[in-house]
Amino acid sequence: MSRRTKKPLAKRGPGDDRPKGASRPAKAGAAKAGPVRGNRGEDGRPLSARPVRKRERPSAERPDERFAERSGAASRSRPESTATEPQKAAKPDAPLPTKVETVTVTADENGMRVDRFLEARYPGLSFSHIQRIVRKGELRVNGKRADSKDRLEEGQSVRIPPLKLDTPKLPGHLSEAEQKTLQTLKDMTLFEDADVLVLNKPAGLAVQGGSGTTRHIDQMLEVLRDAKGQKPRLVHRIDKETAGCLLVAKTRFAATALTGSFRHRSARKIYWALVAGVPKPKQGRISTYLAKDESEEDSIMRVAKHGDDGASHAVTYYAVVETSGQKLAWVSLKPVTGRTHQLRAHMAHIGHAIVGDPKYFNIENWQLPGGLQNRLHLLARRIVIPHPRGGVIDVSAPLPPHMLQSWNLLGLEHDRFDPIEHAPEE
């Protein structure tokens, strides 16, 4: 039997009135030391020191976990954290109005988007329900119709129509179709913890609903509602035909923090694309104004002039990674701003449209090389963003099947160094 050695007590100084045997009080501001475990892998190496190109999603996963962090696809390089949400006076969730009500925007809600305002006030409301009441004009701000993206100001009055809360779905009470949806989300998961979920969205699956769209990510997230009726929230969007990293917040706290990171451009996104021709110079910056042209059949972003109605400034950095003769080029893209169709419109603007783009590819007499699928060759390859509770989320998505086929046919090495990784932020 081992014997425990008793440590000698610290010497008592003048004015020390501690009882005999009591431990010395900690100095003000002293931090309690402890092991740092969360930022190292099984081999003992810091996760942040591992090369990005090895962060690929493994094919195997542990069956006893519904959503397991895919350690090869993402790294959250931070010490283990016990941080909690900011200690503000908790305001109980407002009961759902059964008749028309008018509420006043508080100081804490100043600057909040209309849809986020409703989600915060009435947890459990589905995205489709929010969009429907806004689209029909049932929700009004200071007596006027509002768009879901409009930002509210303190003191404004908001007319709230009767609302309907979706019933929480418990894992044991999911239908067969909902169980399949749950499994699909599990297969798409690149990274997950208590606050954040990163999905590898396949090409062809919409992020949100629209005219004629019956299946989309936001609708699929309904199966992840918790016992309080809250479901994960979309933090950003990518186009239906674009594959790759899609960030989702699992809590209201995470949604606020992650949305703020996008607003303040703390998030970094890297895209890969296959484009017609080889851009010159091979690295550059595209800066234009973009405005939306609406039609009955479709909408498209056009390059506009400063001051044009609805025009927004858009900036993209690009770099050629590898070429296939002078016919095609693999480019890495880094959007500084986040405008609709920004990368697609920008590459078409400089004369190197993305292969398979049904909206912006209009190069005359251009033939698609044999064996390549006529689908949008655009991947949201990587996202790097501060974690709401400290540290960094860094996730990479693999090439989708149709792009991997093209890379293999053209002999492009998809594990090459990405030259745009350290592109300027402005």
Catalytic residues: 239
What are the φ/ψ torsions at residue 117 (nearest 5 degrees)?
A: -60, -45
| Residues in CB range of 84: below 8 A, 6 or more apart | none
CB 344 within 8 Å of CB 315:
no
Radius of gyration over every alpha carbon of the chain, rounded to an integer in angstroms: 26
Q: Which amino acid is at 312?
A: S
Q: How would DSSP label each residue in 266-284?
A: --EEEEEEEEES--SSSEE
- Rounded CA-CA distance 343/316 in Å is 7
- Rounded CA-CA distance 198/57 in Å is 12
- Rounded CA-CA distance 165/172 in Å is 20
Q: Which amino acid is at 60?
A: A
CB 160 within 8 Å of CB 102:
yes
| Residues in CB range of 281: below 8 A, 6 or more apart | none
- Rounded CA-CA distance 101/160 in Å is 5
What is each CA distance from 315 to 72, 156, 245, 338, in whole angstroms?
Answer: 31, 34, 20, 9
Torsion of CA 14, 15, 16, 19, to 10 degrees: 120
DSSP label of 255: H
Helix (H) or strand (E) holding 287: strand 283-294
